[in-house]
Amino acid sequence: MKRITKCIIIIVMILTVCGSVSAEELYPVYPKAWMNRNAHGQALLKYTDYNLSSNYTQISVSTASNRWAATASGYQRVIVSVASSSETYRVYHVAATPTFWINKVGDEWMNDAAAIAFPYGSNGSELNQNSSSPDIKGANIYYPDNTYGDGTTGLFEDNYFESLSTAKKNNVICHETGHALGFGHVSIGTSVMRELVDDMSSSLSTYDLNCLSSKYPYS
Ligand SMILES: [Zn+2]
């Protein structure tokens, strides 16, 4: 599940945290770290704010994405920058139209999911959310367009993402960016990868940093 919901967690992941458990086991949804990396193994996360509307600003995307550009065990694991048009891999942040949004999240979740992330391959086609393909080049992150959700279209009762505070929107953007880095949901403590918006930490926890260090070892 890559959906962030305000409802009951469908899949309850029971995790035991101990020193010997790998990041792959702790972040069980995406099986591999797949973001493009440099010679040191640092993830190269290049974001773009394709078709974002005024409430989904590049400032928010930049601020939230940069939370991942933290240090763990003394090394920076993620290099965040704005993608140029010539670069073939990046993380798109897209404001989806109602029809597009519903097709992505389904009728059941269209009012309760705040955002959703999909990886895509080198040919640009989206892959299964849980894909372990070595061909993954980037990710598309969708938010319901803020021009919808006022009831006038008949498609949304509300727009959950739009209803959130700026701080929580940034937490969601950070969370989805975590999916783009290959992290799945966890149910522990203060991780930014908790599934529910109200549970998400506003900063990377020690746990997140340890998983970041494990998945993107510096060499
Ligand atoms: Zn999620």
Count the neighbouring beta carbons within 10 Å of the beta carbon of residue 17.
Answer: 11
At residue 157, the pLDDT reads 61
> Distance, CA 150 to ligand 1 centroid (Å)?
25
Q: Is the pLDDT of residue 159 over 80?
A: no
Q: Is the pLDDT of residue 89 over 90?
A: no
Each residue of 13-61: pLDDT tens digit?
223 333 334 444 455 545 455 778 899 989 999 998 887 766 677 778 8
Q: How confident is the model at residue 12 (pLDDT cuts 50, 70, 90)?
A: very low
At residue 101, the pLDDT reads 86
Q: Which of 2-11, 67-76, 80-89, 207-216 is least confident?
A: 2-11
> Distance, CA 211 to ligand 1 centroid (Å)?
16
> Distance, CA 116 to ligand 1 centroid (Å)?
7
> Distance, CA 1 to ligand 1 centroid (Å)?
7
At residue 54, the pLDDT reads 66
> Distance, CA 91 to ligand 1 centroid (Å)?
15
Taking the model in full, what pTM does it have?
A: 0.82
Mode of pairing for the β-strands spanning 91-96 and 136-144: parallel
Average pLDDT over residues 180-186: 86
Q: Is the pLDDT of residue 205 over 80?
A: yes
Q: What share of the chain is helix, strand, coil (3-state, %, to 5)?
A: 25, 20, 55
Higher local confidence (pLDDT), 176 or 12: 176
Concatenated DSSP letters for 165-178?
Answer: -HHHHHHHHHHHHH
> Distance, CA 143 to ligand 1 centroid (Å)?
12
> Distance, CA 54 to ligand 1 centroid (Å)?
23
> Distance, CA 192 to ligand 1 centroid (Å)?
9
Mean model confidence pLDDT for the chain: 78
> Distance, CA 3 to ligand 1 centroid (Å)?
5
